[in-house]
Amino acid sequence: MAFEPSFFPMGSQRAARMRGGVVQNEESSWFMPSGGITRIMGFSFVMSLLRKVLGGQAGSDSTGGSSYFMDSVMLFLLGTIAEASRRLFAWVIDRFKLFQYSITAQFTEGDPVYEWLIHLMTEEKIWLRSRQFRVTAASSLRQWTVNLEGNKTEGHVDEYAEYVPTYEDAQLFRFGGYWMEVKRGWGNNRINGQVFINGAGNVVGRLSLTIYTRDMGALSALVKEARRRYLETSRPHVVVHSIDQATAMHVGASPWSTAKAKSRRPLNSIILQEGVIKSLIDDAREFIKSEGWYTRAGIPHRRGYLLYGPPGTGKSSTIYAVAGELGLEIYSLSLAAGFVDDSFLARAVSSIPKRAIFLIEDIDCAFPSREDEEADTASAHLAIASGINQFGMGMHAGRRPRSSVTLSGLLNVLDGVGSEEGKLFFATTNYIDRLDSALLRPGRIDKKIQYKLATKAQAAALFLRFYPPESLSLNTDKPNPTQFTDEKEMEKEKEKETGVSSIDTLRLMADKFADAVPEFEFSTAELQGYLLMCKEQPEEAVKGVVAWVEQEKVDREARKQREEERKRAQKEKASSGETVRRGRQGAAGGSQAVAGTKGGAVAATPA
Ligand SMILES: Nc1ncnc2c1ncn2[C@@H]1O[C@H](COP(=O)(O)OP(=O)(O)OP(=O)(O)O)[C@@H](O)[C@H]1O
């Protein structure tokens, strides 16, 4: 029987022998049906060669024992050849890399270049060949999704669900005339077997890209092209990067692991006093343009803006509109987040890329208010009086969130090299008087912009933004439901019937609306809230505004009284704590005095 040993299913041959059966020709082996694999792979030739060589040396294989010996030797030699070939192959591949036939680059998630590359590859439909996806409900999180149905790739292609490849399957593709291979690994992002999940629910990882070329320029050309395409796609949006605690704690990963794409807000949708927004945009543009001047003058290329004023007056909206206008991405950080301390702040700022906006909203939370200080003192007194240790002090009820960042930590970050390179620093606050003067000095804050409650002009402008001319049912047979009383309005009504433009009527209504709104009493956000109740009904908005203003005033008064009540209660609690403390001190002082007297008496006795 011609026997060609299969080197693989050893177990099955042995098992056959153990069962006392005859070793079957592997043509009947389940592992190697028809024995074709050995032939296909050219092993039959190798085996017959080996058999010849060994057969010549070992003599005849007619006995069962020498046949077994021959088989074993041949298998051993075959295994040796296989291993040697594998090593040779690995050696050749290594030489290939050594002689720079390929370039390998790593990209870490959270870094902008990673995003550029993922976006490019999504556009190139490289991930469509992927077999693993993470499917989530559509949200404002910026993700590079693929459209599995239409075989298209865009930012958000499905209204309800997003299909994000996990990038775990290695992909070989051709781009720009080069063969490239991309695969995703975890780098150092596994600790104790745990992977880190970013805010989007993705595992934070690294992309490893191999380009099969000796031309080093291929990599930079790829990155440039990826950036260009990314900026092109991002243009209609403002990308806002933020941090999430899970990745923030991991030193290897970028702290900016969550990105959201917001629709760009047109500058004219921000209603501020004349010229405010224009001067801000001009200033920021001039700053970005003059990098060379800053370098020559030896001045760090950074600029700080502080937007301050009551809540709901448009500070944040202004920053988003500026970012959209200048095509800058925002890196937004809240100092109130419990895990943000000085060292984290320094790490986060140093990883913000060149030409971006670094935003700290409500920066005053890094500085205690007078009320907080009073409350701290009161808590301390209470704690001492009642014998509680002072570590519970920060848990005061009703306290606004306090930052772990210190003033010096914040100043170091603003002055540090991480804040240079064309970064625009924006901060907002409702309480400028709580900020330390060291923070406000030029070089840290170069421009301060005050926001105020709405003027009548702002109220009228907001009204006109809410109701475009089509919202008014003019030029219809039906009379306009708004009944105006003064002559001017009657005139306008007449004009309407003769085909006058609706914008004039709207202006008139806007003026009427603004007349009812007292100056500097309501924020733009509050007025917006009211107008939202009368969407597409400008007439109703004008009719109801007087009653709304009255009701708001009553509600405010009630809120004010409740707040005063709360403060009074807090003060009383603090002063009762102080009384207890004094009482204890007095008692302690008294007993000391008694002890002192006794001591004096004892001392006096020997004399
Ligand atoms: N000046 C404004 N022009 C247009 N819209 C405004 C203006 N002020 C406020 N709004 C609207 O009010 C809402 C809140 O505005 P925004 O968050 O910008 O206020 P803010 O001053 O930053 O408030 P806060 O100090 O509480 O953060 C937004 O929806 C915005 O559209």
Q: What are the boundaries of each domain within the chain?
A: 10-98, 103-235, 267-450, 456-551
Tell the CATH topology of 267-450: Rossmann fold (3.40.50)
pLDDT of 35 reads: 45
Is the CB of residue 454 less than 8 Å from the CB of residue 527?
A: yes
Is the CB of residue 7 less than 8 Å from the CB of residue 75?
A: yes
107's enclosing H/E stretch is strand 103-108
User: Which residue CA neighbors atom 29 of ligand 1 most closely?
Assistant: 525
Give the number of the atom of ligand 1 that is nearest the alpha carbon of residue 271.
3
Query: In testing the pocket of ligand 1, which one of 240, 264, 308, 316 has its CB within 8 Å of the most ligand atoms?
Result: 316
The Å distance, Cα 341 to ligand 1 centre, comes to 28
The Å distance, Cα 457 to ligand 1 centre, comes to 16
Is the CB of residue 134 less than 8 Å from the CB of residue 252?
A: no
pLDDT of 561 reads: 93
The Å distance, Cα 462 to ligand 1 centre, comes to 12
How far from 21 is each of 16, 17, 24, 32, 137, CA to CA, in Å? 5, 6, 8, 18, 61
Please indicate whether residue 270, judged by its CB atom, sits closer than 6 Å to ligand 1: yes
pLDDT of 150 reads: 54
How far from 23 is each of 27, 43, 327, 360, CA to CA, in Å? 11, 19, 75, 78
DSSP state of 417: G
* Alpha-carbon torsion angle 62, 65, 70, 73, nearest 10: -170
Report which residue type is found at 270: I
Please, which residues bridge with residue 146 across strands? 153
Using CA of residue 496, residue 500, residue 504, residue 506, what is the dihedral sign?
positive
581's enclosing H/E stretch is helix 538-604
Map tokens 């343009």 to a residue: 289
d(CA 348, CA 410): 12
Please indicate whether residue 332, judged by its CB atom, sits closer than 6 Å to ligand 1: no
End-to-end CA distance of the chain: 128
Map tokens 């014998």 to a residue: 387
CA angle 210, 213, 215 (to 5 degrees): 115
Nearest to 449 by CA among 599, 258, 318: 318
Q: How many CB atoms lie within 10 A of CB 107?
A: 23
pLDDT of 228 reads: 93
Helix-strand-coil split of the chain, %, nearest 5: 50, 15, 35
pTM of the complete model? 0.68
pLDDT of 487 reads: 52
38's enclosing H/E stretch is helix 36-40
Report which residue type is found at 538: P
Please indicate whether residue 112, judged by its CB atom, sits closer than 6 Å to ligand 1: no
- Averages of pLDDT over runs of 10 residues in the chain (607 residues) are 39 41 40 44 61 56 65 89 89 67 84 87 79 74 65 53 76 89 65 48 71 88 93 88 71 72 88 91 94 90 95 96 93 87 88 90 79 59 52 45 82 79 92 92 93 95 87 50 53 56 84 95 96 90 95 94 89 74 63 43 32
CA angle 166, 168, 170 (to 5 degrees): 135
The Å distance, Cα 310 to ligand 1 centre, comes to 10
